[in-house]
Every structure is written in C-alpha cells, then in structure tokens.
Chains A and B, each alone.
Chain A
C-alpha cells in the first residue's frame, strides 16, 4: 500500500480514493497551487485534511462561512483529531490570546477572512510553520459568485506575506469567470486545476409551472403526503417554512421548519432529528443545509425560482449522497422571476446608499449590515463612480441570470444540459432518468409513502429516560 492510501485508511477509514482526490493531494504535497472544483458531497474535506498528515507544520484554512467552520471542526474532532482550533470573532479576548499562544500545537487552524486583519493573530502566525493555506468556499471571493463576501478579498493582501506557501482553493461551484477571479485573488502561479463534472446523474430534475400559490401548495401537499422522503422543501421566507410545516403536520407528516431566526439550540435539534430519521421532511429557508450529514435524502423541492444557478445546484446537491436515485422538483409561476430578483437585491446597495457611504463615515447605523460591509470594502478600493458602475453591472448580470433561469425552466431544452452549460460543461452521458423535458417516469423514481402507524406519541418522561440511559 502506498503512503497516501495508508493514511487514508488509518485516519479516515476509507479503502480507496475517489476520482481526482489522489491527484489533488499529490499536487498539494508537491507544493503546487491547486484549484479544485468538486460537487458537494464528493469528499472535499479530505482534500485539505489528508496532506496535513504527511507534511510538517500547520494547515491554515480560511473559511468565510462561520456555521460551516464550526461543523468542520466538529467533523475533524469526530475523526479523533484533537489538534484543531477555530479562530473567529466568536472567541472571547482571553480565548483568542490562549489560542495565539499555543498556535503551533494545532495541526488545523480554521479562521475567517475578517481575522486575517488581526495583528496579534498575524504575529502569532508568523512564528509558526505553515504547511499550506486552504481557501475554502473559494467562490465567495468572486463578486460573480452567488455568496460574495467582500472581506474575503482582503486575503489577497494577506497572502503577499506568504508567497512561499502554496494555496489550495476549494469550491463546489464555479463558472469560468469565478475560477479566473479565484486564481487572480489568491495570487496563484500556474495552479493545477481539477474540475470535476458538476453533473449528479442520480438526481433527476423536474420543473412544474403552476398558476398561483394555491396550486403550489396543493401540489406540494400531494407530493409529500403520497411519496416517500427524506426530503427538504426550500422556500423563501421564514413565515412560509412555518406555514408549510404546519400544513404537513396536520396531514400526519413528521416535519419541522428551519430558519435562521430560530434559537441555535433548536436549530441543532432539528438538524439532528432529521439526520437520525425522526423527521421525514424539513421546510427550510436557504439557511438549512450547511453541515448536514445525511446520505439518503431522496427529494428536494423548491417552491420558487432561486436567486442563482450556483446556489440552486448546491441546494439540490444535498440529495443522493449515497448514489441512489433521487429527484429535484421546482415549482414556479410566471411572477416568480420578479420575486427572485427582489430577494436577490435585498441587501444590494442602491445608488443612494453608495452616495451615503462615500459621504459619511458611519453607515452601519443607516444601512443593513451586509450592505454596509460591502460598501465599507469598496470605499477603500474604488471611487464613488466606479463603485456605482460596478453595482450597475452586477445588478444587470443578476437580472440576466435569473431571467435565464426562468427561460431554462420554461423552454423545451433538457434541464440537465442547460445547468451544465452554465458552468461551461457539456453533458456526456445522459442518465436514464434525466429531467421532465426528456423522460421522467415518476413511478420509477418515487416510492409510495408508507402511512405511519398512527401510534399516538404518548409523553412519559420515565420511558424517554429509560431510552436515553438504560439500566
């Protein structure tokens, strides 16, 4: 057995690598810059973790999404790795100081883009040996990416101190434009590029145009009560997650809603209930999904047109991790285009906001947090006119993208082909169950839902205590 496979078995418990993994890891170890694009659920974390065990020094992982960072740390700890730390704004001053002092004792150092500006942190980093740097969720670097984080752009200045250290950029979705931005911002020199096909052959696509919200509701209730999950129903507002969950509960479905405004404790419980199979369905906003470890999700339903193709792919990609046949259904009405555009533009700076940002130094109080953060960044980099022009361009592009998505759902062309085309990829092998434009024998894909025996769930603390701890 070669060295890589040996570590794979010993540390991660797998017998063999998946397609592409080994090449990427070899290039990282060889000290080369790497850009890797793999669909969600294709073993992305292994790529930045494994080389660490074969190299001296610590791995620094820059991760723009805080909720994801927490999950990554937990996953590593589950693998028995204790030398992990997450350095972010959630830590108290004392906790940070403590982490800085012991920085070299950690093999994996997770951090947020914001922290890269912290002087004490940088000082501590300069004293330790860094094996390589990982830019996770690298599409957030690009303003063309669906989850743009301006703070992430600051990584460019920071990386200038580490010209000798190689960088591994990871993302699940990136168009040609985005890849270009990633390479540019991360100062990459002739990187090794690995682009996995974004096609997920076991996910069938289904687009259904309906007349109005009532028809949507009726369709959704019909589908979920008659066919089997587990599944996620994505919707756009907190209120709607609650409404759907309520309607489904009334019909005997084990379901819960999930959105960002819930208590953190409750969100964790809902996630666990879903993972453990106590729930069949989750009605959620796009806040749900990050860090969900469930292989057997069979259905994803959207009751709206998503704000971007990349985010749609990511949400849909949560199905069929186990490789079994699954289906992604999208319901839309003609007016959903405007709604999608409206949602996409919610935190988007208007011309007046931009003017305000350039005239005043204290915009935090007057503008939504995200808007203020974006403008704070651009104010340092561009003139007012340039910023205005930049956002006009982005807005225009966003409109074109959403409009394109609508056309994609409406026209007669294969959905799978069109989605791949957006990422400059061509479909090579059409799966048997492709999409509602090709052929979609639903009875072969969907499984009838077994009505649960209506055992009234009696509440008795003594029984539950015995289940938790048997004597």
Chain B
C-alpha cells in the first residue's frame, strides 16, 4: 500500500496533464528533456530517480491495481487521480525523499555502512577473515581507507560508532518500520541480514513497499547527518550528492552557451537536432535559475505565457499556444519553467 500511495501522490502532482508513463520515467530517473522539465513544472524533485531498477511490468501491474480500485482514471494520453484516490492520500503521512540530488547514490552510503558494521562485528567475534556481503570494489577501498584512518579495533571507536548509529536511528522523523528494515538488513558475525522478501513477510507488506520504505529511510538519515552531530557518518556521505544534476550532454551544451554560441550553432557543432538542444536549455534552466534566457524569450513574453496558464488553469502547451501562436512550443516550455521558479 505504501508504494501505491506514493504513486497516487505523484499522479496527483502531475495534475492530469501527463500520460501514465510519466510517473514511471520519473521514478526511473529518465534523463530526457521531457522528464527533467516536468520535474520543475510539477515540483517533483523528491521523486526523481528514486528507483532506477523499477521494471516496467511491475509498474504497470501497480497502475492496473490502482485503476481497478477506482483510485485513478486514465486513457492513452493522460492519467489522473479520482476523488476516491485522493481520500487514500489526504490523511496519510507525506513521505520524505530527496531523489533529485541523491539519484540512487544513497546505496553507496548504505554499502559503506553495511561493510563497516559487518567488519566491526566480525572483529568483535574474533573472526577477522570473512566474506563481505558487499561486493562493490570501490566501496571496499573506501571502507578500508576509512577504517585505517581510525583506530577501528579499539573499544572506544566501536562504542562511539554504535552510539552515533543509535542516535541517528532514534530520529523522530523515522517510523519504527524504517529502523527495523535498516538494522535487519545489516549483517555481522554469525548474523546475516534478511532478504527483501524476508523483511516483507516479517512486516506483512509487499517487497516493493519494503524497498521504497528502505530508500526513504536512507534519505531521512542522510538529511539528518551533519558533521558536528555525526562525524563518522558524515565521512560516509562523501561524494554521494550529485553536484551538477545536469546530464553530461546538457552540460556540454551549457559550456558552449557560456562561450556565446546560439542554439543553431551548438546544434551544428554537436551534430545534434535543434530539438535536443532546446531540451538541454530547459534542463539547464530547471537546474540553474540564473541562466540568461533573454536571447530565447523576452520578459514580456514570459509574463504573457504565465498569465494565460494562470487564467486557463493549465500547463498544456497546446492550449496556451492557441492564444499566442507567435511563440514556439519551446518558448512556452521555457516560460513555464521560469514560472515555476518564480512561484516555487
């Protein structure tokens, strides 16, 4: 039910203006102009790229269930929440996610914690040779360096580390189920962690719910960690936040704009279609509100678009363009993106 509520929340945020694949691409973190632009339009930053491994069939199955329950309506071009669906989410707790800047990297943090706890636990059990649950080589190197910089075999270090973890988990933003999932997934000396399936059956919820609750738990913990309060855990967050949330391609385009090239010139230089470069502009503007757009659209035009969107209560490009046919779809998208920044 947890995942379904999350889906309903996202569908609600799309305001009936996108098709049923939009929430899927959002959760997968698809790096296309449309998805990135929607993130800004509809304020969907928390949910972007929450679960890159989400299978299409799994997603569709959940959508069909919501549909069968009468929580949503949909056709080929749009998906929307019903009043019955709205009842499902109005009174429940709002989930906390930070997808836009984490993009799955919370699992790097998790892997580090998992390996450190296993190592400390094995050393306490005097079994210093063990097979690590965590297989990622980069995480191995990181943890090795982390432990060697500290006196990790000393009682004080372990006690301190455990105390920090304990406090971190006592954070009141977490639910008891978050804490249980986190700790029971950990492995140690003669003590293996549980699989997603086992965690699900212990809590009588679905595997999908377990995974999304687990991700939420990591996001809440990461949000809480500061260098003063949790010095050791803060060190484990190194390099996990996305610095420039731009795609590589948009980043290249952005550099060329900085040098003063026009859309046409950039497209020609990069052997890309004009459309693609326009997508990049939208992406750049979503991320960087200070990016100058004067050469693409005037301030008056932006105001004009926003006013129509306001009056007609829509973000549908087609409807807006009927009123100002002089502007291109690209200009309207750009104006709407800027508009979100002004409001939000």
Contacts and interface: CB of A to CB of B under 8 A. Distances in A.
A307 to B, nearest CB: 28
Interface stretch (B32-40, B178-186, B218-226, B328-336): B178-186
Contact of B191 (A74, A256, A467): A467
A469 B158 contact: yes
Interface stretch (A31-39, A112-120, A266-274, A376-384): A266-274
A454 to B, nearest CB: 16
Given A95-B137, A459-B202, A465-B183, A269 B192 contact: yes
A461 B179 contact: yes
A266 B131 contact: no
Interface string B131-167: 1110101000000000000000000001101100110
Contacts, number: 80
B124 interface: yes
A256 B195 contact: yes
Given A467-B188, A469-B121, A469-B124, A70 B195 contact: no
A201 to B, nearest CB: 30
Given A269-B193, A470-B124, A471-B162, A464 B202 contact: no
B135 A269 contact: no
A92 to B, nearest CB: 10
B195 A272 contact: no
* Most chain A CB inside 10 Å of its own CB: which residue of B161, B166, B189, B195: B195
A276 to B, nearest CB: 5
Contact of B187 (A74, A95, A272, A459): A272
A464 B186 CA distance: 9
A256 B162 CA distance: 30
A465 B187 contact: no
Interface in B187-205: 187-198, 202-203
Contact of A276 (B158, B184, B190): B190
B94 interface: no
A464 B190 CA distance: 12
B133 A272 contact: yes
A457 B192 contact: no
Contacts of A276: 190-192
A469 B162 CA distance: 7
A30 interface: no
A343 to B, nearest CB: 24
A2 interface: no
Contacts of B190: 276
B255 interface: no
A268 B165 CA distance: 24
Contact of A78 (B131, B169, B183, B186): B131
B117 interface: yes
A407 to B, nearest CB: 40
A268 B111 CA distance: 14
Interface string A77-106: 011100000000000000100000000000
A341 to B, nearest CB: 30
B269 to A, nearest CB: 26
Contact of A273 (B161, B186, B189, B192): B192
Contacts of A269: 133, 187, 192-195
Contact of A278 (B166, B183, B192, B202): B192
Contact of B196 (A95, A263, A464): A263
For the complex, would chain B's binding face be called helix, strand, loop or mixed by DSSP majority? helix
A468 interface: yes
A269 B114 CA distance: 12
A266 B197 CA distance: 9
A265 interface: yes
B133 A468 contact: no
Interface string A255-267: 0100000111110
Contacts of A469: 117, 120-121, 124, 158, 161-162, 188
A272 B161 CA distance: 25
A457 B72 CA distance: 38
Contacts of B198: 256
Nearest to A257: B197
B166 A264 contact: no
A280 to B, nearest CB: 14
A282 to B, nearest CB: 12
A272 B194 CA distance: 10
A74 B133 CA distance: 11
B192 to A, nearest CB: 4
Contacts of A270: 195
Given A256-B195, A268-B135, A459-B202, A468 B117 contact: yes
Contact of A465 (B135, B162, B194, B197): B162
B188 A272 contact: no
Nearest to B161: A469
Contact of B186 (A70, A256, A266, A468): A468
Interface of B: 117, 120-121, 124, 129-133, 135, 137, 158-159, 161-162, 165-166, 169, 176, 179-180, 182-184, 186-198, 202-203
26 contacts: A70-B135, A74-B132, A95-B137, A263-B196, A264-B135, A266-B197, A269-B194, A270-B195, A272-B131, A272-B192, A273-B192, A276-B191, A459-B184, A460-B180, A464-B191, A465-B166, A468-B121, A468-B186, A468-B188, A468-B191, A469-B121, A469-B124, A469-B158, A469-B161, A469-B188, A471-B162
Given A79-B129, A461-B182, A467-B191, 4 more contacts: A263-B196, A276-B191, A460-B180, A471-B162
